[in-house]
A and B are shown apart, each in its own frame.
Chain A
Amino acid sequence: MSQLPLRAQLASALGRTAATLSRATGRGDGSVIGGRVGLMLEPDLLRQLAADRRLALVSATNGKTTTTRLITSALRQLGEVATNAFGANMPAGHVSALSSAKEAPYAVLEVDEKYLPEVLDTTQAGVVCLMNLSRDQMDRAGEIWLLAQKWRRALAAQSTLVIANCDDPLVAWAATGSARVTWVSAGQRWREDSWCCPECGGPLDRKGVDWACRECAFRRPTPSWVLDGEDVIDPRGQRWRLDLQLPGQANRANAAIALATVAAFGLEPGHALLGLREVTSVAGRYTTVERDGRSLRLLLAKNPAGWLEAFDVADPSLPIILSVNAQGPDGRDTSWLWDIDYRILRGRPVLVTGERRRDLALRLYVAGVPFQLCESFGQAVAVLPPGRIDVIANYTAFQQIRTEFGRAE
């Protein structure tokens, strides 16, 4: 890493300067601009920065940022880890993350699903973790069967070790072509995108987490790691209680993937769990903020599968504020609201806000969920009595709320 060619050293240094300037002028955290500057000066920078490190790439529709954080937290016990903690998950963000920790022998990078083939090819990462694939921001992210196919081709071309969730048929299909796979049974809550066989299009028969195609030979691979309720069972059959601070089934699934991943780096579950349990909040997610006697727990949900996970974490005895936007990063299309079953919210006070609150209002009306429409997040908070409140927001709505509360973790 210290052996970078001069041009790459210069590109990396100028990129860091740009990032510092961006932060100093309050334009952002600098992780994208810095990487862009670096890549402009040395297009080969990402490959050079990644060389000679032990690198894991993490990709999925949901849970990328959290799983990246869990793996990083565990690996820190082995040495310094470079990581894109701010969720800047495209090549510019990767360059920035690796530049800012040049001596780190380990790196864990969250990768946008679309960029995985490119980043894998560039970095030749030793490990790739794949958790799930489901519908997400269809107006810009495109189609997931197509995405799974691109993953499959990219993985088949490498000797990378793939850590993959065998309970998600699309993920299993994408990983099946690789030479080395560690299968993890991490569960699958959202199933609406995997009723048909990715191999032949036939119907998938499902029973619990198991699945098999009725028409061809494609079926769920046998896992060596298994998430079982609150525990993870390792390949030797030993059972480990997770005891995470992060809530919910989705995070237990992320932890199972993280344990299998760090095991590939030589870290035993007993040690790894110490790191996993230190993680309390990830980029503001699951964090609790206070205002006027109200404790607001912030949950991020960007797509239908993410909403199911957030519902799993939300407390049915508490009022809930839902905030939805449709800016570029959210996807400008709100159709996905109709894929979510909101009836689970019946019986709690439900407040609706965000730039696309009228879309959500109609959705709840049709679902027979009583709600109150609020012009702003502040108004929604003020309407509720002091006490605990759950908040679910999609991407930019979540960022707006965090900004309002000073981004405190």
Chain B
Amino acid sequence: MTSHVRLVWIYPDLLSTYGDQGNVLILEQRARARGLSVETVHVRSSDPVPEQGDIYLIGGGEDRPQILGAERLRKDGGLHRAVAHGAALLAVCAGYQIMGSVFGGEEGQPVPGLGLLDISSGRGERRAVGELAAEVDPALGVPTLTGFENHMGVTRLGPGVRPLSRTIVGTGNGDGTEGCYAGKVIGTYLHGPALARNPALADLLLAWTVGPLAPIDDTWYQRLREERLATVLPA
């Protein structure tokens, strides 16, 4: 496999409201710690999405930017082609909803998504804000998810995706599951720097691109994980 990783951060000008840059920085750090070279492209919403990336990231945002982002990505088509070529994608919060067939706009009106994940989202009754913990699908070999959610979305999973995890604490998709995945596309409501508290998820994305990874120093990641999980899970 390759020793070079190309990261593509989609639309930081529209969809980067919650520290989403963190996921980019963490993938860079964890790749470089293994001696991989990293090239990161920040794609503004006025620019075409390159098709040759290895890992694509898209973050959270407000209603209007979310709708604009979805429109531009649909017109652009670059992300569709990249995923079709086998690129990995981490889609967070508003970005997660965009990947489905439909999501809820400002007034709850249905807005068409990209159809890269077999999900459909709408607006829930009340905002889900707070810590979330969830057990990840054992097939992925990733330990308990921990993160913060802040959204009003309710997401229904279709037969074409598997739940990423089952919630222990928090709302997630709204049906006892949180996030989903299909192939190398992962969606999650864990907003912002989701990978900071889930380095194994970062490594999963990297391993899909470059193959098995050597262990690295995870001290600071683990200390944060332990602290956050201890606040929501019984000892």
Measured CB to CB, the residues of A under 8 A from B are 135, 138-140, 143-146, 192-193, 195-196, 201-203, 214, 332-339, 358-359, 361-363, 365-367
Chain B residues within an 8 Å CB radius of A138: 17-18, 150
Q: Is the CB of A359 within 8 A of B224?
A: yes
Chain B residues within an 8 Å CB radius of A361: 220, 223-224
B182 at the interface (CB under 8 A from A): no
Q: Is the CB of A336 within 8 A of B26?
A: no
B175 at the interface (CB under 8 A from A): no
Instruction: Enumerate B61-108 residues with CB–CB distance to A below 8 Å.
Output: 62-65, 68
Q: B109 → chain A, closest Cβ, in Å?
A: 16
Q: Is the CB of B14 within 8 A of A338?
A: no
**Partner among B29, B129, B191, B223 whose Cβ is within 8 Å of the Cβ of A366:** B29
Q: Is the CB of A335 within 8 A of B25?
A: no
**Partner among A139, A335, A359 whose Cβ is within 8 Å of the Cβ of B129:** A139
Chain B residues within an 8 Å CB radius of A203: 13, 44-46
Q: Is the CB of A366 within 8 A of B192?
A: no
Q: A370 → chain B, closest Cβ, in Å?
A: 12
Query: Majority SS of interface residues in chain A?
Result: helix
B16 at the interface (CB under 8 A from A): yes
Q: Is the CB of B64 within 8 A of A195?
A: no
Q: Is the CB of B220 within 8 A of A338?
A: no
Q: Is the CB of B227 within 8 A of A358?
A: yes
Knowing A192-B16, A195-B13, A335-B191, say if A362 contacts B221 (CB, 8 Å).
yes
Instruction: Enumerate B43-68 residues with CB–CB distance to A below 8 Å.
Output: 44-46, 62-65, 68
A135 to B16, CA, bound (A): 10
Q: A145-B64, A201-B64 are in contact. List 8 more A-B contacts (CB 8 A).
A: A195-B44, A196-B68, A203-B13, A333-B192, A358-B224, A358-B227, A359-B224, A362-B221
Q: Is the CB of B192 within 8 A of A338?
A: yes
Task: Give me 14 A-to-B residue pairs in the complex whose CB atoms sit less than 8 angstroms apart, sorted by A's number.
Answer: A143-B17, A195-B44, A196-B13, A196-B68, A201-B64, A202-B46, A203-B44, A334-B148, A335-B22, A335-B192, A336-B18, A339-B21, A358-B224, A366-B29
Chain A residues within an 8 Å CB radius of B129: 139-140, 332
A202 to B63, CA, bound (A): 15
Chain A proximity mask over B111-151: 1 for CB below 8 Å, otherwise 0: 00000000000000000011000000000000000001010
Q: B92 → chain A, closest Cβ, in Å?
A: 10
- Residue of B with least CB distance to A371: B220
Q: Is the CB of A196 within 8 A of B150?
A: no
B193 at the interface (CB under 8 A from A): yes
Chain B residues within an 8 Å CB radius of A337: 19, 22, 193
Q: Is the CB of A201 within 8 A of B62?
A: no
B196 at the interface (CB under 8 A from A): yes
Quick one: which of A135, A138, A202 has the most chain B CB within 10 A? A138
Name the interface size band of chain B: 20 to 34
A193 to B44, CA, bound (A): 13
Chain B residues within an 8 Å CB radius of A144: 62
A332 to B224, CA, bound (A): 15
A23 to B175, CA, bound (A): 48
Knowing A201-B68, A358-B224, say if A196 contacts B192 (CB, 8 Å).
no
- Residue of B with least CB distance to A194: B13
Quick one: which of A139, A144, A338 has the most chain B CB within 10 A? A338
A201 to B193, CA, bound (A): 25
Chain A residues within an 8 Å CB radius of B192: 333, 335, 338
A195 to B21, CA, bound (A): 15
Q: B221 → chain A, closest Cβ, in Å?
A: 6
A38 to B45, CA, bound (A): 50
Chain B residues within an 8 Å CB radius of A143: 17, 62-63
Knowing A196-B14, A196-B45, A214-B46, say if A332 contacts B130 (CB, 8 Å).
yes
Q: Is the CB of A333 within 8 A of B150?
A: yes
Give 5 nearest A-B pairs by CB, closest first: A335-B192, A338-B22, A335-B19, A338-B19, A195-B13
A145 to B14, CA, bound (A): 11
Q: A350 → chain B, closest Cβ, in Å?
A: 14
Chain B residues within an 8 Å CB radius of A140: 129
Q: B27 → chain A, closest Cβ, in Å?
A: 10
- Residue of A with least CB distance to B25: A366
- Residue of B with least CB distance to A364: B220
Chain A proximity mask over B198-235: 1 for CB below 8 Å, otherwise 0: 00000000000000000000001101100100000000
Chain B residues within an 8 Å CB radius of A332: 129-130, 148
Chain A residues within an 8 Å CB radius of B12: 192, 195
Q: Is the CB of A335 within 8 A of B18?
A: yes
Q: Is the CB of B13 within 8 A of A145?
A: no
Q: A393 → chain B, closest Cβ, in Å?
A: 19
A334 to B64, CA, bound (A): 24
Q: Is the CB of A362 within 8 A of B196?
A: yes
Q: B40 → chain A, closest Cβ, in Å?
A: 14
**Partner among A145, A195, A333, A366 whose Cβ is within 8 Å of the Cβ of B26:** A366
A352 to B19, CA, bound (A): 20
Chain A residues within an 8 Å CB radius of B193: 335, 337-338
Q: B1 → chain A, closest Cβ, in Å?
A: 24
Q: Is the CB of B25 within 8 A of A362?
A: no
